[in-house]
Amino acid sequence: MNGDLSIVDFSGVYEAEGFLPALQARGLPFRLVRLDDIEGTNCYCDPESEAEIGRRLAPVRKCGIRWIDSGDYHYVSKILAGGETAPFTLVLVDNHPDDQEPAFGGVLSCGSWIRDMKEKNPMLEAVWTLGPDHRIRNDRGTVDRELEGGIDDLLAALDGKRVYLSVDKDVLDRSSARTDWSQGTYPLDVLKGWIGEILKKDVIAIDLCGEMTPAKGATPEDLRINCETNIELQEFILDCLK
C-alpha cells in the first residue's frame, strides 16, 4: 500500500478541526475532493448521488490512505472498493456492523453498505468485523468471539489475501474520539495495535471516518480531540508503511 493521502470532504469538518492545516504544517501533501455540493448524501445516498461521488473519487482510488469524513458517509468505502478488479477481504473496524437492511428500498446508507457490498461487489471474498459488541466476527460463521482475545485468527486468515481496511473512530472511547453515534470503549493504542498488525499484510487501502461535525453539535473540545487523534493515526500509519 502506498502512503498517498486523500481527504474526502462532505461537511467541511477537517477544516473546522484544523486537520488540514496540521497536515500542511507537517509537509504532508494530500488530494482534497470536495463533495459538499452533492445533494442526497447525508447518511443515505441515492443512486444518482452515488454515481456522481464515484465519478469524482476516481482520481483518488489509487491513494492508499483516505479520510472520508463522519460516519454518516462510511458508505464511501463501498463506492471506493467498487473499483477493485481483483479479489479482496474487507476488514471493518467499527462500533456497528453496518450490514442492516436498507431503510428505504435499495438506497445505500451508512448502516447498510456492508450488505450492499456483499450483494453487488463480485471481488469481495470475505468480511471481518472488529468492534460491535466487543466481538470479532467473520461472515463465514467460523469466528464469533470476544475481541479481547486478540486478532490472531484474523491475521492468519489474511495471509495471502488482498486486504481493504475501513475504520470508524466510533470504536474508540471518548478520550480519543467524539462522534454523534454510540461509541465503543477501546483506547487509541488498541486501535493502533490492530491497524499496525493488519498493515503487515497486503493492504490495498485504508479508509478512516468518524468525525463529528459542528452541524451535529461538535464543540471546540470535540474538534480538538478528533484532530489530535487524526494526526496521531495519520503519522502512525505512515510510520507503519516505512
* pLDDT of the residue at 127: 98
pLDDT in tens, the chain (242 residues): 999 999 999 999 999 999 999 999 999 999 999 999 999 899 889 899 999 999 999 999 999 999 999 999 999 999 999 999 999 999 999 999 988 876 666 789 898 999 999 999 999 999 999 999 999 999 999 999 999 999 999 999 999 999 999 999 999 999 999 999 899 999 999 999 999 999 999 999 999 999 999 999 999 999 999 999 999 999 999 999 99
| Model confidence pLDDT, tens digit, residues 106-119 | 789 898 999 999 99
* pLDDT of the residue at 37: 95
| Model confidence pLDDT, tens digit, residues 156-193 | 999 999 999 999 999 999 999 999 989 999 999 999 99
* pLDDT of the residue at 43: 87
* pLDDT of the residue at 145: 97
* pLDDT of the residue at 131: 97
* pLDDT of the residue at 104: 64
Q: Alpha-carbon Rg of the chain, whole angstroms?
A: 16
Architecture of domain 5-241 in this structure: 3-Layer(aba) Sandwich (3.40)
| Sequence ranges of the domains in the chain | 5-241
